[in-house]
Every structure is written in structure tokens, then in C-alpha cells.
Amino acid sequence: MTPPPTPRDRVLRYAFMKLARDLDARFESLLLTGRISKWYSEIGHEGVTVPAGLALEAGDVLCSLHRDLGAILACYLDPARTFPDLGFGEPDGRRPDPDAVLYRLACQLLGKGEGFSQGVERSFHYGWLAPEHGIFHAGMISHLGAMIPVAAGCALARRLAGTDRVAITFIGEGGTSTGDFHEGLNMAAVWKLPLVLVVENNRYAFSTPAYMQFAAERLSDRGPGYGVAAVNVDGNDPDAMAAAYARAFARAREGWGPTLIEAMIGRMRGHSEGDDSLKVVPSEEHRRYVAEDPVPGYARQLEAAGLLDAERRAGIDARIAELVERALDGALAAHEPARETAWRPALAPAPELPPPPPPPVPSGRPGDRTSYVDAIHQALVEEMERDPQVILMGQDIGRFEGAFRVTRGLWQRWPERVLDTPIAESGALGIAAGAALLGFRPVVEMQFGDFITCGFNQIVNVLAKLYYRWQLPCPVVVRLPSGGGVGAGPFHSQNPEAWFTHVAGLKVVCPATARDAKGLLKAAIRDPNPVIFCEHKFLYRRIRDELPAGDLCEPLGVAKVLREGSDLTLVGYGASTWTAVAAAEELAKEGVRAEVVDLRTLVPFDEETVLASVRRTGRVLVVHEAQQTGGFGGEVAARIADAAFAFLDAPVRRVAYPDRPVPYARSLEQELLPSAHRVLNAARELLAW
């Protein structure tokens, strides 16, 4: 049984609800006078959000959306220092001064330089780790539902760390139609993660009535289908919401898994202020919602209970006015973001790696040569042995040991750190992001690189942008078994690397050798940034190296000259490196010394090594298996033309896959793949220029 609320609890809820309401109203007026460009009002949500913020304890995680100002205030601010005349106990010395917090929050909402994101992010999209009281606040992205898996990942991190801490996140009823709602909640249920998911159901999403969004009578009815506890609560009743949170947090802390809370509230404002979307709510219905407004309604309840007389209410109002005006006056006068902030890094500084071990003395024994796929396996084993924060996630990587047996034997050694996921690429990547933000180093295997499209949003809008937005590292490695040449057809043969080289905040790695497969993967796992690690399937069991003993790490962003020459430069990566090597060997028979440069890493791009080669040879041919239009070879060619034009004796040429999907029949696939024969023909044309 949840104990009844104390008078202190109820007055505290009201005080924070009123603070949220008054701060919201002031920002609405700033919008109307043109001093901010956008405002998402929380009016009508305070009875849901404030009790949530008050339920959080040190070590818990808050993942908020547009209308969760009340939760942020109740989470950040020390009640005793915020409302010193209300008798809320001794001040919490771990929490910062409320004036300082409110000033910084106001600067954030106004886009000023002293906001949490220094003007890089808008309104509630920021993230903040508050070391003073140990609560991590992760803000939203505009793609609704995407933060549910991230919150689940934060919950996973707290559980893996051996704590009983909880993550809470919010979604509107419209956002429950997204795939991430299903993937995040389902994975949290399967893994019994300490997650509380709150649906703020104001019945109209942006402008679409609930009956046009879902056929269920209540969204909380979905809970049993996922195997989670679920409850439907009057969101205008802060006491009922507080009781629901108390039960949900207790279940989570005791290891019983997630809870879905559907909070029913009324649509009192537009989606964003001034967008006219409120017109979809019938006027009579809207009048009913206004009459049920939780802030004045709760004040009347407290007055009737003798807890809020006129004097106390006036004192609360005066204190709130003082706090709000002081914060806004300071924020309005604050400086704009420094222009150089726009240039702050999108990637966290890379760590210093150990010097490479000396190369082994070739033994000549075939059994001493390690295959490309075994080198990847070795890297995973060594990094999991070295760092207990490394965790593996992916479909069928545990008991089954992966589609290509890369993870063989790992689940048996680390069952708590080798996690089989449902078929939910977006959910797995979002969970990895949340876990990485709280100190873990997830390595996520896509069963095939082609399936990464199902998780595209989490990569390009969550993982890639986090460091630029929040200046917090997010070390996630996404392993992509990719590429063709194995007769796998159009959905198991793509080369997706160029999709991600266009996205600031990602590193993209494409090893060609077994040594690099191991050394670059170990470096990627230690890197504080998200890394897309493309493993060409054709190379898995065809390419072998004798690997040195010791801690083999190869730095990201460094290309390698595999074969020296003076007449022509062939640039490749992944399997195309070996196509270039084969062509160079044939050219050597014709007396042509072709230099082969293996890029190894596309981002960061080692421009200097490529340009140095071009300056030596004067001719360059870029080879890649990805389709020509939009392929990374176009970027290489542009960099060369821009920085080494004076050294070129012929145009930069490319040999790539034609702009076609990959056909299934091997004969058809071989017709389109960039072969050594095609490279030879292009090279001869360049040499004749």
C-alpha cells in the first residue's frame, strides 16, 4: 500500500506546479513579443510532471520531452532553498543555488551563451549530468519516441552497475504510434529494466484525435501485451500521479521491470504556441479542460484541506515571482553565444593508444595465420577482458554465437555482458546510446549491415549528434557485416559506409586486412565516439595475417600505403583494397609501378597520406564497391582535385559499382562488381592520358 500524502508533500507539489506554470506563462509572453522563436507550453501537464520530478532520487535518470518543465524544476531544485519560508527541512548542500539553476535554464530556453548547451540546442533538447545530486537529465530529439530506447539504455546501465536506480521518460499519446515506442518498451520488458514510461495523453497529439491514432480504448491496455504493469491515472490529480510513481519506482527498484503509466489530461494549448492547432478541440470540450486545470484545481483542494490559506498562497506567489523575474531579467541581459561555439567539436578527443607491438617474424606455417573474422573475435575477447564496461548486443550473438560465429564462446564467459536482442535495430541502438552515456562501451552487431536502415534515426540523430549537442562522450561501436561478392542478393550485400560519412559526429572504419580488423576494432571500442565499423563479409575467411602478440591497436584516421609506386595511385578500402592490389600486380608485369593506398578509416579521412601519394605519381584511380553516385570515392576525388590539382597529370577517375541493386545470381553480381579487370582498363586509360 502507498502511504497517503503528507501535508508537506502536497504543498511542495503545489509550489513546484505553480513555479512551472508561472515560468511557462512568462515564456509564452516572450514568444508573443518576438524574443523567442518557439515555445512548447506545459500548461495542463504540471500535475503529471512535477510529481515525477519529486520522485527522482540521486542516481536516477530523467529523459524529458517538450512539456516536462515541471519535472525538470522539481528534479533540479532543492525545495528548502527554493521555498525557504515553507518549512521543507534543511537545505541540501549537494544541490546548486536555485537562482543559478533557474538563470541557466532561462538562458537555455532563450538560446543564450550561458544555457546548458551554449545556444547549440533549443529549449528542452539539452542534456545535463548534475554531479551535485547525481541525477542525469537527457533531453529529447524532435523525432518522437526515439528517447524511449535511450531511457531504457540508461536503465540498463544502472542495473549493470549493480544499483537499484530508475530511469523515467515521457511520450505523448501520438508518439506511442512510433516503432521506438514498441521496441524500447518491449526490450525493457524482456530484460526487466528499471524503466518508468509515462504517456501524457492529451487526446489530440499535434492535431489528430486519439480515435484516428489508435483503436485501443486506453493506451494502458497495451501494458499486459508487453508483459509490463500498466495503469491509467487522472493526470489532473497530482496525488494520484505521485502514488502511481511511488508504486512504479518501487517495482523498478525491486527488479520487477518497467511500468507504463497513462496520464489522462486535457488539451489546453496548441502543439506549440501560436500554431493554431488548438482549433481541432471542440470549444465545449476545451472549456471542460480549462475548468479541470490542475494548478488552480489543486490549489482549491489544498485550501479546502486547510493546507493553503491566503497568506501562504501569497507567500508562494511572491517567492515564485521573485525567482522567475530574477532569472529572466538576468537571462534577457545575458550575452549571445560566442560565434566560435558553432565550431565546437562534433567528436570527442581520441585517447592515446599504446604503441603497436613489433611485427611477428613470419613462420611460414599456415596455422599461424589468423583470418579476418578470427581477428575480430580476438579483438572482442581482449577488450572484454580488459574493460568490464564493454558489453555486446545484437541478434543471436549469445547462445547461437552470431550469424558469422564472431561471438563464439563469449556468452558462456560473460552471460551478463553478451546480450541477445529482439529483432529491433532501432531499439538496440537507442539502448546502446543510453548505456554509453552512463559509462558503458556497447558494441552492437547488426546481423547484416543492410539492416542498419532500421536503426538509421538512432545513429544519425541520436548517436552522431550527442557530443556536439551536450559535449558528453557516447562510445558505441556498430559492427556491420557488409559488402557483396558472396551471392547474397540485394538485401545482404550493400556497402552502407557513405551513408554515414555524411553525418558529422560519426567515425567510419573499413578495414581490409586481418591485422587492421583487430587493431582498428580495439581502437574503436576505446574511442569515446560512435564508430561505424564495416566488416566486409567476402574477406571474413579469405584474408589472413600473422598477428603480433601484445595489445594491438591501430589508430583511427591513418591510411596505409600497402604497395609503393611512382606511376599511378590506386586508392581503396575494404575489399576494394585487394582489387587494387591485384590490379597493381598485373600492372607491374607491364612495367607500371602502381602505388596502393588503403584508406582503412573514411572518417577521420587521412587526406595527407592520399595527397602525398598523388604528388608522387600524378595520377589517381579510386576504387570502391559501393555504388558510384554518392559513393565515398567522390569525396576522395574532390579532396584531391581541390588540394593536389597542380600535381595531376590526368583527371581523377573512379571504378565503382554501377547504380544498381545487387542481383542474387553470382554471374549477375560479378558482372557489376568492380573487378581487377575493370581497374586495369581504367588504369591504362589514365596512363595513356
- Burial degree of 413 (CB within 10 A; 0-12, 13-18, 19+): exposed
**Catalytic status, residue 492:** yes
Name the 3-class secondary structure at 198.
strand
The one catalytic residue among 45, 125, 271, 492: 492
State the pairing for strand pair 507-509/601-603.
antiparallel
Dihedral through CA 561, CA 566, CA 572, CA 573, nearest 10? 0
Grid cell digits, residue 392 = 555486446
**Residue of 17, 35, 16 lying closest to 26 (CA atoms):** 35
For 409, other C-beta atoms within 10 Å of its C-beta total 12
Query: Which residues lie closer than 8 Å to 671 by C-beta, 6 or more apart?
Result: none
Neighbours of 505 (CB within 10 A): 22
Element counts in the chain: helices (H) and strands (E): 24, 21
Three cell numbers written together for 50: 512535477
463 half-sphere exposure, CB direction, 13 A CA radius: 34
Name the residue with cell 533538447. 125
The span from the CA of 226 to the CA of 224, in Å, is 5
- HEC sequence for 447-479: CCHHHHHHHHHHHHHHHHHHHHHHCCCCCCEEE
CA distance 101 to 407: 47
SS3 sequence of 594-654: EEEEECCEEECCCHHHHHHHHHHHCCEEEEEEEECCCCHHHHHHHHHHHHCHHHCCCCCEE
Cell numbers placing 67: 512539456
Residues 6+ apart with CB under 8 A from 107: 113, 114, 115, 331, 334
Grid coordinates of 307: 493546507
> Which single residue is written with the C-alpha cell 578509416?
601
Longest dimension (CA), the chain: 99
Q: Which residues pair with 130 in a beta bridge?
A: 135
Cβ contacts of 30-36, under 8 Å, gap ≥ 24: 30/110, 30/328, 31/273, 31/274, 32/273, 32/274, 35/110, 35/332, 36/109, 36/110, 36/111
Contact assessment for residue 350 and residue 527, using Cβ atoms and an 8 Å cutoff: yes
Q: Which three cell numbers stand for residue 43?
A: 500548461
> How far, in Å, CA of 209 to CA of 216, rounded?
13
Nearest residue to 61 via CA among 473, 531, 431, 419: 431
Q: What's the Cα-to-Cα distance from 265 to each of 199, 234, 262, 292, 296, rounded to whole Å?
A: 10, 7, 10, 9, 15
Name the residue among 402, 394, 421, 398 with its Cα closest to residue 478.
394
Pick the closest to residue 455 from 398, 399, 395 (CA basis). Answer: 395
Check residue 592 and give left, alpha or beta (phi > 0: left; psi -120 to 50: alpha). Answer: beta
Helix (H, G, I), strand (E, B) or coil at 532: strand
Measured between alpha carbons, how far is 275 from 294 in angstroms, rounded to an integer? 23
Find cell 502507498 and name the residue: 2
Instruction: Give 26-30's long-range contacts (Cβ < 8 A, gap of 24+).
Output: 26/324, 26/328, 27/109, 28/273, 30/110, 30/328
Q: Which residues are catalytic?
A: 492
